[in-house]
Structure 1
Amino acid sequence: MLRIGTWRSAGTADLVACGWRDSGPGPSEPGIKLIFSVGGQVPHFPGLRAGTRVARGAEEIAGQLFRGMDVVLIEPGSCPAAPVMAAGMWHYGWTGDDLGALAGAAVAGLALAAQPGPCAVEIGRDGRSSLDGHVTAAAVRASLADRFAGGRYRTPQVTVPLDAVRLSQEAPRRVRIAPMA
């Protein structure tokens, strides 16, 4: 299972940490990968390999992760789903043929990015995910609806129709996002 969390801190870049507990087709060692928007002050992490080129989109982010970067910089205002999709591409080896998993990761990334405070999402190999934090299925659905222009959300990899998004409240602080068919 791939786990991705956000921390919001005033005056700094948002941080997405990608940790994992199983071995996928990517690197088998467990660890943390950091993805920062270059809009703020990015701290120096001694001993971590940081990409010097700003990544634009999920494929470029995943490419830097595949090249062994521990810290990846992304451009401000980029697709909010891209870091989560990239983490799945890197960890699980998803390609353009894995449309359901990519669509699920896109929805999870959008839901994660819409949360105002610390939050985490767990994503399975099939794109199934659970969002943890101060969340309700109704609030997640409302925040997603705001991002789906014309009832669809488009990324370079996949287009997700809003009516295909299946949310359920699993626990008071946990929303399940079903994989897209």
Structure 2
Amino acid sequence: MLRIGTWGSAGSADFVACGWRDRDPGLSEPGIKLVFSAGGRLPEFPGLRTGTRVARGAEEIAAQFSRGMDIVLVEPGSCPAAPVMAAGMWHYGWTGGDLGALAGAAVTGLALAAQPGPCAAEICRDGRSSLDGHLTAAAVRAGLACRFPGGRYRTPQVTVPLESVCLSQEAPCRVLIATCAGVL
């Protein structure tokens, strides 16, 4: 399982991904990965490796994670879904053929980025996820709707039709995101 969270402070993407990267059967690599906006204030994390290049999108973030970077800097104002998609690429090994998983991660990333305070998500291998925080399915849907001009959200990896986004309220502070359809 991949857990991703935000702590909602100003001036940074502030995403943290925690999980075990699945490799070969029986092998796993534990990891904590952080994503911050370049130019923002970067806290000191002794012992963690910071990438030297500013990443421009999910594939570049995932590539830095895979090269052993613990902290990746992204362009300010970059795609809010990119850190979550990148975490899935790093953790589960998603590629361009995993359209449903990438679409689900894109929706989760957009939902996380829209939360004003701390929020966490658990993402499954197939892209299904759950959001935990002070939120409702109706509020998440409203926050997503404004990010889908023309009913679609486009990233370089996948396009997500808004009508494929299925949310449900599992508990007062838990929203489920079902597997989404993704197209190229």
| TM-score higher than 0.5 | yes
What 5-or-longer segments of structure 2 have no aligned partner? none
Question: Is the CA contact 2:53–2:73 (under 8 Å) kept in the aligned structure 1?
Answer: yes
Unaligned runs of 5+ in 1: none
Give CA deviations for 1:124-145 in whole Å, capped at 9, x if unaligned.
Answer: 0000000110010000000000
Identity of aligned residues (%): 77
- Pair 1:15-2:14 in alignment: yes
1:152, 1:161 within 8 Å by CA — same for their partners in 2? yes
Identify the residue that residue 25 of structure 1 maps to in structure 2.
Answer: 23
Which residue number corresponds to residue 108 of structure 1? 108
- Which residue identity lines up with residue 133 of structure 1 in the other structure? G
- Tell me what 2:46 maps to: 46
Return the alpha-carbon distance in structure 2 between the equivalents of residues 125 and 24 of structure 1.
10
Give the aligned residue type for 1:152: R
Q: Which amino acid aligns with 1:25?
A: R
**More displaced 10-residue stretch of structure 1: 36-45 or 47-56:** 36-45
Q: Distance in 2 between matches of 1:174 and 1:25?
A: 30
Distance, in Å, in 1 between the alignment partners of 2:171 and 2:56 is: 35
Task: Name the residue aligned to 1:158.
Answer: 158
Q: CA RMSD in A?
A: 1.4
* TM-score, reference length from structure 2: 0.93
Count residues with an aligned counterpart. 179
Deviation at 1:14, TM superposition (A): 3.6
- TM alignment of 1:11-160, pairs within 5 A: 12-20=11-19, 22-25=20-23, 28-160=28-160
* 1: CA distance, partners of 2:173 / 2:37: 27
How far off is 1:23 after superposition? Answer: 4.8
